[in-house]
């Protein structure tokens, strides 16, 4: 059990810590949280003419102020509870198990009301800021087309393409071989989205894959124009004209040079 001299010592230490925290809150306006908007701290009137990087810096500083303020308020609350415990005669005993708190622990953390076995502060929270969710790769890592992983998952390149198609800071003059259009300023801008082959834009079948039909739409005309301009039969190379079905080989065909 603590002596009256020890109680007086801890009460003095706690009261001093309380006054320092309250004075700190007055000096910095609760870490600047008394301001209505982060712009008040930097003298800005609006976000419209600010660079996103500057806005991100102000947001980071505000988040840090909130965390520091919560930590200080939590410490102040514990100090006030400890002072109340001294007045009630329960200071120095764990409020969970009722055992005496070692003097060494009280010297290190005079505002504690728990023994080492029951302190809630020993549990490290696994809760992370919700903003971190958008920074994490949804499939565990970023994949690019040149990687060994052939996964068709939505990866970093797809994310960049979705953003870059709305415009980047680059212009055609930034390239050795300038693209023809501003919509072609990013990697693989001509990549098909939602389909693989160009002919999928004008070829259709029934639900069972039968009754193939060619829709002579604008994509069909463009496809034919490309073939005629290159003087080829298909986009993946010429086929022998005698071959009626280019994807099926006759097992008895002796004209195959491999036989």
Q: Which residue range(s) make up the domain with 221?
A: 196-246
Sites in the chain below the pLDDT cut of 50: 139-141, 143-145, 147, 244, 246, 256-259
Helix, strand, coil % in the chain, rounded to nearest 5: 45, 0, 55
- Residue 201 sits in the same domain as residue 181: no
Helix (H, G, I), strand (E, B), or coil: what is residue 213? strand
In a domain, 253, yes or no: no
Phi, psi for 93 (deg, rounded to 5): -120, 140
Tell me which residue of 72, 75, 120 sits closest to 96, measured CA to CA. Answer: 120
Chain segment 130-150, per-residue pLDDT in tens? 777 666 555 444 544 454 555
Lookup: tokens for 15: 């009261």
Structurally, the chain folds into a number of domains equal to: 3
- Residue 213 sits in the same domain as residue 226: yes
Chain segment 28-56, per-residue pLDDT in tens? 888 877 766 666 666 666 666 667 777 78
Interatomic CA distance for residues 119 and 117, integer angstroms:
6
- Residue 52 sits in the same domain as residue 102: yes
Interatomic CA distance for residues 93 and 161, integer angstroms:
61
């Amino acid at each position: 059990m603590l002596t009256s001299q020890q109680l007086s010592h801890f009460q003095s230490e706690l009261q001093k810590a309380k006054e320092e925290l309250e004075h700190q809150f007055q000096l910095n306006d609760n870490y600047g949280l008394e301001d209505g908007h982060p712009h008040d701290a930097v003298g800005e009137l609006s976000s419209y003419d600010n660079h996103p990087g500057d806005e991100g810096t102000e947001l980071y500083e505000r988040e840090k102020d909130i965390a520091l303020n919560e930590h200080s308020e939590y410490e102040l609350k514990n100090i006030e509870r400890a002072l109340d415990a001294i007045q009630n005669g329960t200071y120095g005993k764990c409020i969970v198990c009722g055992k005496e708190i070692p003097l060494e622990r009280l010297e290190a953390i005079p505002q504690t009301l728990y023994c080492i076995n029951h302190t809630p502060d020993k549990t490290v929270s696994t809760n992370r800021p919700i903003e971190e969710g958008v920074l994490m790769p949804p499939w565990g890592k970023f994949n690019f087309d040149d990687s060994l992983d052939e996964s068709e998952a939505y990866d970093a390149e797809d994310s960049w393409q979705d953003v870059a198609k709305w415009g980047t800071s680059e212009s055609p003059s930034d390239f050795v071989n300038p693209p023809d259009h501003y919509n072609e300023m990013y990697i693989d801008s001509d990549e098909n989205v939602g389909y693989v082959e160009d002919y999928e834009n004008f070829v259709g079948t029934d639900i069972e894959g039968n009754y193939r039909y060619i829709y002579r739409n604008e994509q069909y005309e463009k496809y034919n124009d490309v073939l005629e301009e290159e003087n080829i039969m298909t986009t993946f190379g010429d086929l022998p004209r005698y071959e009626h079905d280019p994807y099926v080989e006759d097992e008895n065909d002796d004209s195959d040079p491999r036989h």
